């Protein structure tokens, strides 16, 4: 199984570059024979990404809580759609289905999912690669914060290295295929 979970927004943001990055990621995933795992919505960056993977012949696995089926408008054309009972179940299932994790620009939900999966890696719940695509410098502040946390002694350098970053999908997927997450001792 080769699946990448992508955390991203149910809206499109204000710059066309965010949607373009989602389409570029879809092309990269399909070219490298990765299936997509994502939040199951048909709109926003989530919908653009899922549609682009499907249009290119890829497989898409969506996971969405019942309470968001109507609000985020669950995608009806996926390879597989799991409707779950809670956000906790959503995140757990997405993690179990995936071999790696990528964040595209998004809001609170995207950030929360990325930080949680990094925390799980730090705690040795998984050793799957985690990364973000820094579209238009969107994550510059987060990257600076993490580096500051290292400098202030709140984040060990080896944990900081758990988050791979690239400006492009191709660059990040290439890193995923080169690097495995380190096994960290406590």
Reported as a single tens digit per residue, the pLDDT across 26-36 is: 999 999 999 99
Q: Residue 181: inside a domain, yes or no?
A: no
In a domain, 14, yes or no: yes
Tokens of 22: 């989602």
DSSP states of 131-159 as a string?
EEE-GGGTTHHHHHHHHHHHHTTSS-HHH
Look over the chain and give the mean of its residue pLDDT values, rounded to a whole number.
95
* Residue 184 lies inside a defined structural domain of this protein: no
71, pLDDT greater than 90: no
Q: Is residue 51 in a domain?
A: yes
Q: How many domains does the chain have?
A: 1
Distance CA 113, CA 36 (A): 16
CATH number, domain of 131, equals: 3.40.50.450
Domain assignment present for 185: no
pLDDT per position as a tens digit, 125-137: 999 999 999 999 9
Question: Residue 83: what pLDDT?
Answer: 97
pLDDT of 182 strictly over 60 = no
User: How far is it, in rounded angstroms, from Cα 128 to Cα 15?
Assistant: 30
Give the burial class of 125: count Cβ atoms within 10 A of its Cβ; 0-12 exposed, 13-18 middle, 19 or more buried: exposed
The residues near 18 (Cβ < 8 Å, ≥ 6 apart) are: 9, 12, 45, 104, 105, 135, 136, 138
| Residue range 51-59: mean pLDDT, rounded | 98
Mean pLDDT of 94-101: 97
User: Which segments within 2-59 are labelled E, that is strand?
Assistant: 3-7, 35-38
In the chain, the DSSP E strands lie at 3-7, 35-38, 60-65, 80-84, 100-103, 130-133, 163-166
Tokens of 15: 């710059």
- 79 domain-assigned: yes
Host H or E run for residue 90: helix 87-97
pLDDT at 180: 60
Contacts of 141 (CB under 8 A, 6+ apart): none
Tokens of residue 60, six digits = 């898409």
Residue range of the domain that includes 116: 3-172
- Partnered with residue 81 across adjacent β-strands are 62
pLDDT given for residue 179 in this prediction: 76
Q: Using one digit for the tens of pLDDT, what is the confidence trace for 138-181?
A: 999 999 999 999 999 999 999 999 999 999 999 999 999 887 65
Does residue 59 have a pLDDT over 90?
A: yes
With 90 as the cut, is the pLDDT of residue 52 above it? yes
Q: Give the residue-averaged pLDDT of 75-90.
A: 96
Check residue 64 and give its pLDDT: 97
Check: CB of residue 100 under 8 Å from CB of residue 5: yes
Instruction: Report pTM.
Output: 0.95
Residue 130 lies in a domain: yes
Q: What is the pLDDT of residue 70?
A: 80
Asked whether residue 140 is assigned to any structural domain, the reply reads yes
């Amino acid at each position: 199984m080769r699946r990448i979970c992508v955390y991203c927004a149910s809206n499109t943001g204000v710059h066309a570059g965010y949607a373009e990055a989602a389409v570029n990621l879809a092309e990269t995933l399909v070219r490298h024979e990765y299936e997509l795992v994502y939040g199951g919505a048909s709109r926003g960056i989530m919908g653009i990404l899922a549609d682009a993977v499907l249009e290119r012949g890829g497989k898409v696995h969506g996971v969405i809580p019942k309470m968001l089926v109507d609000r985020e408008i669950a995608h009806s054309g996926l390879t597989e759609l799991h409707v779950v009972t809670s956000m906790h179940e959503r995140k757990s299932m997405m993690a179990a289905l995936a071999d790696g994790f990528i964040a595209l620009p998004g809001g609170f939900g995207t950030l929360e999912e990325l930080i949680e999966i990094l925390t799980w890696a730090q705690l040795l719940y998984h050793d799957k690669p985690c990364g973000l695509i820094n579209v238009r410098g969107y994550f510059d502040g987060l990257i600076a914060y993490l580096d500051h946390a290292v400098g202030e002694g709140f984040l060990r350098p080896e944990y900081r290295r758990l988050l791979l970053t690239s400006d492009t999908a191709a660059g990040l997927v290439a890193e995923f295929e080169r690097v495995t997450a380190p096994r960290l001792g406590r």
